[in-house]
């Protein structure tokens, strides 16, 4: 399932995300692990047809808005970098990434598709939600059902059938160092 | 599966991670999504019984080393924050968190347990691997098979049976703002 995941741009404009489906996606994010169980993720959900959805769409980079406007929901993933006790959360972004991944794995398991976007106007995205102090928008996710027959303008249609590429394992693996520190150091 | 995940401290000291199992965990991480497909994650694997494993164990906070030394492998998750072309990767931590989550979901699906740790000496952890320029250690994961009968000293034994807690959905949800920006803004 993880190997077959696809960040589609071809969403079904007729598909509606039910409350139950949204609830399951949020539960998946909620139970993600985090540093000291700090749970720094903050999540905003905007269903297609709402003012928040339109505001998020308008805040996206134009190349994203073209296809993301057909998604069933746009979901803002944000992170609170300072705890209520003033502690700095060094792993806030990392943990928000974990929660987002748990959400997207749940989506995949339900036959939904997720496409995450970093290209947006953070101020305008933030204005769509009442962000508490110190909460920073990280990603807007388009979530919906993939429609392989959806009409997409170029260059997006071509991307939809482009092969997925990744670095090789050799390229992401860290090699053991030759000079391991003595254990007593 | 996501809701039942448990960051155990009770690892089976006799369990050995096969090459195939490690390969599947790494593949899961490798196929995670990332900003512009930048794939900033870098991963180091140290199996129990190796010099790298001992060096990582010695670099952990003492409260982690006690139980993590029984894991089948310690895995360093690091992130490269600057691309080879000099571009700053704003989502490096976020994306590394996604890759780590994909790895841990795969582990869970295989009946393995993962416990991520942020408490370690980054210099000493870095020294166990030949880290390329600009690659920063984020997390050390203990990976292995859970042994509910493993003997754990306190306070770790008590934590193993403590209830999992999370913020409520209300606490992590962002409320829609009352003053949505006009779409033409």
pLDDT at B180 over 80: no
Residues 100-159, chain B, touching A (beta carbon < 8 A): 100-102, 104-106, 116, 118, 124, 127-131, 135, 138-139
Q: A92-109 and B92-109 helices cross at what angle (nearest 10)?
A: 50
Average pLDDT value for chain B = 93
CA distance B83 to B38: 8
Q: What is the average per-residue pLDDT within B142-165?
A: 94
Average pLDDT value for chain A = 93
Instruction: Provide the token pair at B169.
Output: 């959905």
Which residues from A are below 8 Å from B173, CB to CB? 26, 42-45
CB contact under 8 A, B183 and A58: yes
pLDDT at A183 over 70: no
| B162 Cβ under 8 Å from any chain A Cβ | no
Asked whether A172 and B30 are in contact (CB, 8 A), the reply is yes
Quick check: helix, strand or coil at residue B78? strand
Distance between B15 CA and the closest CA of chain A, angstroms: 22
| B46 Cβ under 8 Å from any chain A Cβ | yes
pLDDT at B57 over 90: yes
Which residues from B are below 8 Å from A32, CB to CB? 2, 101
Tell me: the pLDDT tens digits for A13-35? 999 999 999 999 999 999 999 99
pLDDT at B75: 98
Note the CATH number of domain B19-172.
3.40.109.10
pTM: 0.95
CA distance A36 to A31: 13
ipTM of the complex model: 0.95
Least CB–CB distance from B176: residue in A23, A91, A128: A128
What does DSSP assign to residue A173? B
Residue of B62, B16, B25 whose CA lies nearest to A169: B25
Band of pLDDT at residue A130, cut at 50, 70 and 90: confident
Domain ranges of chain B: 19-172
Tell me: the pLDDT tens digits for A99-113? 999 999 999 999 999
Burial class of residue B51 (count of CB atoms within 10 Å of its CB; 0-12, 13-18, 19+): middle
Q: Which of B4, B8, B33 to mutate to test the interface with A (most CBs of A within 10 A)?
A: B33
Q: How far is CA A34 from CA A10, A16, A38, A64, B6, in A?
A: 32, 31, 6, 30, 12
Asked whether B64 and B58 are in contact (CB, 8 A), the reply is no
């Amino acid at each position: 399932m993880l190997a077959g995941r696809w960040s589609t741009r071809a969403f079904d404009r007729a598909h509606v995300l039910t409350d139950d489906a949204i609830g399951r996606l949020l539960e998946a994010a909620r139970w993600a692990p985090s540093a000291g169980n700090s749970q720094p993720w903050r999540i905003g959900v905007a269903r297609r047809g709402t003012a928040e959805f339109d505001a998020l769409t308008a805040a996206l980079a134009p190349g994203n808005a073209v296809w993301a406007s057909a998604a069933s929901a746009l979901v803002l993933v944000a992170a609170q970098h300072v705890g209520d006790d003033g502690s700095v959360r060094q792993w806030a972004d990392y943990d928000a990434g974990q929660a987002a991944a748990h959400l997207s794995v749940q989506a995949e398991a339900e036959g939904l598709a997720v496409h995450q976007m970093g290209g947006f106007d953070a101020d305008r995205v933030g204005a769509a939600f009442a962000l508490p102090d110190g909460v920073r928008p990280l990603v807007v996710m388009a979530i919906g059902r993939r429609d392989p027959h959806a009409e997409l303008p170029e260059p997006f249609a071509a991307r939809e059938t482009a092969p997925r590429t990744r670095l090789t394992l050799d390229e992401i693996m860290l090699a053991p160092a030759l000079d391991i520190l003595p254990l007593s150091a």
